[in-house]
């Protein structure tokens, strides 16, 4: 789980405001949308087709040795096994998602990819919720593995259906066992984090413990892969080494990233609108840019708020448009031609801070925001670039 910002030409000053179309940024495609069970979008990433092909090639000889008469159908059967295996992974991720939804935690999406699945869930606010959401996936995988095992006992083990059921039973049990390893970014690591969090009262303490455990496990996985490959033939040795290195790298990177994200989460409250806001002055839309900049310089301001006849703010002059306007043309360009109308979400409270600030900006992408006091008075202008610079500096600290 991964509990996750047109310059208008004008030859003379004009009072007309030109609305700039700054559409919200589209999130990058996550892959092929397969459906929305329980309202959660499920995507299959392109990398899944790679691992499906690998599984098809690796397991085809196994099915051929068990059933020599299959012929080319062994590849179809092997691919079918890959699909069933990752359907089990999907059910595992849905267990996380449904548990989170029942606890009131928003779930953005589930992505099935090369090394399994990822459920993007808002970070739980309590250790109990963290533990319950994390434990749900392995618990259901254990139930699936046990269920397939019981079904397999009722079937003849030497039949095609019996072999498939046995493979699914073992696969689900292995998925559960692997995910229960007590190290981030695995479910067991999140469960360990929740326990340490509950005992210490500090989420960061839990993340530190689970992150180091994850790094130790990554080394263990790599050493185990090397040791196992020493006794295998050349072909198996190559696959084992590559897969072991991929899993170990995934675990190490996930553990490091989880700790970095938690440290950043603790520092986020330092990201305060009042500290980052630029002083701004009100100007009419017809005022030439050169005159508006002169007034702003005299007032020590760095923001321009376009107001109507009654003095109410209606638009914000975009810094990028100002910088793109040559100095010799600034006396002839009205500020209204370089402004964006105030749209929904572009007014932010002066007391906003931390994660709430980032959520507000993500919900209404813009280059500038109008900052207002609780009583509605204008406090200034917040530039997205200032927030981004402060955020980067915070990450590097």
Q: With a cut of 60, say whether residue 10 has pLDDT above it.
A: no
Average pLDDT over residues 50-68: 81
pTM of this structure: 0.67
pLDDT recorded at residue 22: 39
User: Are the C-beta atoms of 145 and 170 separated by less than 8 Å?
Assistant: yes
C-alpha triplet 22, 26, 28: angle, nearest 5°: 150
Taking only Cα atoms into account, the Rg of the chain, rounded to an integer number of angstroms, comes to: 28
Average pLDDT over residues 11-34: 48
Q: With a cut of 60, say whether residue 9 has pLDDT above it.
A: no
Could you tell me which residues come within 8 angstroms of residue 127 by beta carbon, excluding any fewer than 6 positions away? 194, 195, 197, 198, 203, 206
Average pLDDT over residues 25-44: 79
pLDDT tens-place string over residues 85-123: 888 899 999 999 999 999 999 999 999 988 788 899 888
Banded pLDDT at 235 (limits 50, 70, 90) = low
pLDDT recorded at residue 21: 36
HEC-encoded secondary structure of the chain? CCCCCCCCCCCCCCCCCCCCCCCCCCCCCCCEEEECHHHCCEEECHHHHHHHHHHHHHHHHHHHHHCHHHCCHHHHHHHHHHHHHHHHHHHHHHHHHHHHHHCCCCEEEEEEECCEEEEEECCCCCHHHHHHHHHHHHHHHHHHHHHHHHHHHHCCCCCHHHHHHHHHHHHHHHHHHHHCCCCCCCHHHHHHHHHHHHHHCCHHHHHHHHHHHHHHHHHHHHHHHHHHHHCCCHHHHHHHHHHHHHHHHHHHHHHHHHHHHHHHHHHHHHCEHHHHCECEEEEECCCEHHHHHHHHHHHCCCEEEEECCCCCEEEEECHHHHHCCCHHHHHHCEHHHHEEECCCCCEEECCCEHHHHHHHHHHCCCCEEEEECCCCCEEEEEEHHHHHHHHHHHHHC
Q: According to the per-residue pLDDT averaged within each range, which of 17-31, 160-174, 334-348 is highest? A: 334-348
Higher pLDDT residue, 378 or 26? Answer: 378
Whole-angstrom Cα distance, residue 283 to residue 298?
14
Whole-angstrom Cα distance, residue 233 to residue 229?
8
Chain mean position to CA 169: 31
- Residue 322 to residues 5, 220, 276, 332: CA-CA distances in angstroms? 17, 56, 20, 13
pLDDT recorded at residue 7: 24
Higher pLDDT residue, 238 or 300? Answer: 300
Select from 387, 367, 279, 365 the least CA-distant residue to 319.
Answer: 367
Whole-angstrom Cα distance, residue 132 to residue 129?
5
Name the token pair of 137.
Answer: 């996936």
pLDDT recorded at residue 30: 67
Q: What mean pLDDT is reported for the chain?
A: 85
Name the token pair of 393.
Answer: 């500096």
User: Which range, of 10-14, 27-31, 48-52, 277-281, averages the lowest pLDDT?
Assistant: 10-14
List phi, psi (to 5°) of 98. Answer: -65, -40
Higher pLDDT residue, 337 or 261? Answer: 337
Average pLDDT over residues 16-29: 40
**Active site positions, annotated:** 93
pLDDT recorded at residue 170: 86
pLDDT recorded at residue 218: 92
pLDDT recorded at residue 16: 33
Higher pLDDT residue, 267 or 98? Answer: 98
Answer whether CATH 3.10.580.10 is correct for domain 273-396: yes
User: Which range, of 24-33, 140-149, 334-343, 359-368, averages the lowest pLDDT?
Assistant: 24-33
Average pLDDT over residues 24-47: 79
In the chain, list all ranges with CATH 3.10.580.10: 273-396
Binding residue numbers for Zn(2+): 92, 96, 187
Average pLDDT over residues 289-293: 95
Q: How many residues does the chain have?
A: 397
Whole-angstrom Cα distance, residue 219 to residue 214?
9
pLDDT recorded at residue 5: 23
Name the token pair of 62.
Answer: 């196994």
pLDDT recorded at residue 233: 67
pLDDT tens-place string over residues 179-212: 999 998 899 999 999 999 999 998 889 999 999 9
Average pLDDT over residues 58-69: 78
């Amino acid at each position: 789980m991964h509990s996750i910002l047109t310059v208008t030409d004008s030859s003379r000053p004009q009072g007309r405001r030109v609305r700039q179309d700054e559409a919200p940024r589209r999130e990058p495609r996550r892959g092929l949308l397969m459906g929305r069970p329980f309202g959660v979008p499920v995507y299959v990433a392109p990398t899944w087709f790679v691992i499906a092909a690998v599984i098809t090639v690796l397991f085809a000889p196994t099915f051929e040795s068990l059933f020599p008469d299959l012929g080319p159908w062994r590849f179809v059967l092997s691919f079918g096994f890959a699909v069933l295996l990752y359907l089990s992974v999907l059910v595992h991720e849905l267990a996380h998602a449904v548990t989170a939804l029942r606890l009131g935690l928003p779930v953005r999406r589930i992505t099935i990819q090369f090394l399994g699945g990822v459920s993007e869930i808002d970070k739980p606010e309590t250790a109990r919720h963290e533990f319950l959401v994390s434990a749900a996936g392995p618990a259901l995988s254990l139930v699936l593995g046990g269920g397939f095992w019981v079904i397999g006992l009722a079937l003849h083990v030497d039949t095609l259906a019996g072999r498939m059921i046995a493979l699914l039973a073992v696969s689900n049990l292995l998925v559960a066992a692997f995910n229960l390893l007590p190290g981030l970014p695995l479910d067991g690591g999140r469960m360990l984090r929740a326990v340490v969090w509950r005992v210490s009262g500090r989420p960061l303490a839990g993340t530190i413990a689970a992150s180091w455990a994850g790094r130790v496990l990554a080394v263990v996985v790599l050493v185990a892969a090397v040791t196992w490959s020493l006794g295998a033939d050349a072909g198996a040795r190559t696959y084992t080494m590559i897969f072991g290195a991929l899993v170990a790298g995934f675990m190490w990177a996930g553990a490091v990233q989880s700790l970095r994200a938690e440290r950043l989460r603790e520092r986020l409250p330092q990201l305060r609108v009042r500290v980052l806001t630029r002083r701004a002055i009100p100007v009419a839309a017809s005022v030439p840019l050169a005159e508006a900049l002169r007034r702003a310089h005299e007032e020590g301001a760095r923001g321009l708020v376009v107001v109507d006849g009654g003095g109410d703010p209606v638009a914000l002059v975009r810094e990028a448009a100002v910088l793109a306007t040559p100095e010799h043309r600034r006396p002839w360009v009205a500020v209204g031609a370089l402004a964006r109308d105030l749209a929904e979400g572009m007014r932010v409270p002066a007391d906003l801070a931390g994660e709430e600030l980032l959520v507000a900006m993500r919900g209404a992408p813009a280059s500038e925001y109008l900052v207002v006091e609780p009583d509605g008075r204008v406090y200034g202008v917040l530039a997205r670039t200032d927030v981004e610079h402060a955020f980067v500096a915070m990450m590097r600290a």
